[in-house]
A and B are shown apart, each in its own frame.
Chain A
Amino acid sequence: MDFILRYFEKIGLFVLYIINELGSLIIYLWNCILSILRYSVNVNNLFDQMAFIGMDSFYIVGLTGLFVGMVLSLQAYYAARIVGVTYMIGPTVALAMTRELGPVLTALMITARCGSSMASEIGTMKISEQVDALEVMAVDPFYFLSVPRIIASMVMLPIMSIVTSLIGIFGGYVVYKFFLGLNGAVFVDMIYKYIKLSDIYNGLLKAVFFGIILATISTFKGFEASGGSKGVGRVTTQAVVLSSIYILFADYILTSILF
C-alpha cells in the first residue's frame, strides 16, 4: 500500500514541479514584455544577438537542411517507386521541409547551439554576481540580457528556417537528379504545382513561436543558476532539454491549429 502511495506522491510532486516551472516561466515572460514596454531595446545588443543566432548558425543549420533534404529524397524514392509516383518526390521534400522539418530542425539546432550558450552565459553572470551588478547599476537584467535574445531569436528563427528549407530542397533536388538519375525539371515543376503560400508562411509562423520558446526558456534557466559551475552545467542541460520538449510539443499544437 505504501509503495502505491509513494508512487502517486512522486507523480503529484512531478505535476506540481511542472506547474510551478510553467507558472514561473509565464511570470518571467511577462516581466520581459514589461521590460520591452518600459525601455527601448538596445539596438547594438540586439544586432549582436541576431548575428549570433543567425549568421553564426548558418553552417550548422545549412548542413542539417542539406543532409535531411538528401535523405528525404532518397527515402521518398523507395516508397514512390513502388506505387510509380516518383514525380511526387519534389513536393514531398518541399512540403516536409517548409511545413515541418525546416522550422523544427532549425529550432532544435539553434537550441543546441545558441540556447545552451544563452543559459550558460547568463548562468555564469548570475553566479559571478554580474547580474546583481547590472541591477545595482539600475539596469534591468531582463531588458539587458533577455529581451534582445528573445527578439533576436523570434526574428532570426524564421529566416534561418527559410535557409534550412531551401538548402534541404536543394539537397533533395541534387539526389533526385544526380544520384537517382531522374528528371530535375519534374522535381521543380511539381513543387510549384503542389506547394501553397500558406505552407510557407504557416511554417514561418511556427518558427517565430519556436524562437520565442527557445530563447525564453534558455534565458529563464540561466537566471535560475546557483551553486557554481555545476549549477551552470545543470541549467544549461535543463535549458536544452526543456526547450526541445516544448518546441516539439508546440509543433504538434501549432500543426493541428494551422494546417
Chain B
Amino acid sequence: MIILENINKSFKNVKVLNNLNISFEDKKITVVIGRSGEGKSVMLKHIVGLLKPDSGRVLFNDIDLNSINKKELNELRKKFGMVFQDGALFDSINIFENVAFPLRQHLKLSEGDVVKKVISALNDVGLSGIESKMPAELSGGMRKRVAVARALILEPETVLFDEPTTGLDPIMSDVINNLIISTQKHFKYTGIIISHDIEGAYKTADTIAMLYEGAIIEKGDAEKFKTSDNPVVRQFVTGSMIGPIVI
C-alpha cells in the first residue's frame, strides 16, 4: 500500500503540497483529479522518489522512501512503472529499443526472449509492426500506448499515469482509458492516475480523490463525486467558471 503522510512541498516559497494525506489501495485504480498547477504531478513524483518532501513521509509497503539509500530506492523503483504525460520515450532509439530498455537494464534475457516480450507488450497495447519506427514518427496516442507497453514490461506492482489522456482526441482518450482498465485487470497492478479528465476518471477509477490547494479535499467512488455537495468539487466536475475556485 502507498501512503502519503503529511506531505509538504514548496518551490521558491510557493507552497505546492500542503499537509497532503492520501493512501492508495492495492490492486485498485485511484484517479487524483484537480486543476492544472495544483501539484498533481509533484505528488506523483514524490511517490517514486523523484522529489523529496520538505516534511512528511511517503510509505511504500511500510518502507519510508526518505529513509532508504539510493541503491535501495532503485530496487524499490523496479516495482513501479510510470507513464509520463508526453510518454517520455527516448527519442534517440526506436520503439523496439524503447520497450526493451527496462528488460535489457534489469533482466539477463536472451535476445530471442527480449524480442518475444517486446512484441507481446506492443500487441497488448494494440500496436504491432511499428518496432522499427522512431518515437517522432508516431502520433501522440501511439506514443502513449508505447509508454504504457514500456511501463508494463517488467510487470510492476504499481503503475503511475501522469495525465494519460491530455492532448488526445476523445476517441483516443477512450482507447487509452480502456487500455488502462484492461491492463489493470490483466496485470492486477495498483494504478494511480492523475488527470483533469472527469469522464475518464469516472470510467477508470475505483476511487477518485480531488487535490485542491495542495491537499485532498474529497475522496470516494465516482457516484460520490457525481453527487458531492462540496462546492469546490461541484464546480470542478461540472466545469463551471462560477464558484469558489479562484481562476
Contact = CB atoms under 8 A, between A and B. Distances in A.
A39 to B, nearest CB: 10
Interface in A182-236: none
Nearest to A38: B71
Given A128-B91, A130-B91, A136 B86 contact: no
A136 to B, nearest CB: 4
Interface string A136-157: 1111100000000000000000
Given A129-B84, A129-B85, A129-B86, A136 B48 contact: yes
Contacts of A128: 86, 88, 91
Interface string B93-104: 000000001100
Contacts of B80: 136
Nearest to A135: B50
A19 interface: no
Nearest to B154: A137
B74 A140 contact: yes
For A121, A138, A140, which residue has the most chain B Cβ atoms within 10 angstroms? Answer: A138
Interface in B29-86: 45, 48, 50, 70-71, 74-75, 77-78, 80-82, 84-86
Interface string A118-137: 00010011001110110111
A133 B84 contact: yes
Given A38-B71, A138-B74, A132 B105 contact: no
Contacts of B102: 137
Nearest to A35: B70
Nearest to A31: B70
A138 B77 contact: yes
A125 B84 CA distance: 13
B78 to A, nearest CB: 5
B106 interface: yes
Contact of A135 (B75, B77, B105): B77
Interface residues of A, number: 15
A204 B75 CA distance: 41
Contacts of B101: 137
Contacts of A135: 48, 50, 77
Contacts of B78: 138
B105 A130 contact: no
Contact of A130 (B50, B70, B90): B90
A137 B89 CA distance: 12
A137 B91 CA distance: 16
A136 B90 contact: no
Contacts of B90: 125, 130, 133
Contacts of B70: 140
Contacts of B75: 138
B106 A138 contact: yes
Given A38-B71, A137-B77, A138-B77, A132 B88 contact: yes
B161 to A, nearest CB: 12
A139 B45 CA distance: 16
A104 B48 CA distance: 43
A132 B84 CA distance: 9
For A121, A125, A128, A133, which residue has the most chain B Cβ atoms within 10 angstroms? Answer: A133
B91 A133 contact: no
B71 A133 contact: no
A52 B80 CA distance: 34
Nearest to B48: A136
A138 B154 CA distance: 12
B111 to A, nearest CB: 13
Contacts of B45: 132
Given A133-B88, A136-B80, A137-B101, 7 more contacts: A124-B91, A128-B88, A129-B84, A130-B89, A135-B48, A138-B78, A140-B74
8 contacts: A128-B86, A129-B88, A133-B82, A133-B88, A136-B48, A137-B102, A138-B75, A139-B105
In the A-B complex, list the 5 residue pairs whose CB atoms are closest, starting with the nearest: A133-B88, A138-B77, A129-B88, A138-B74, A136-B82
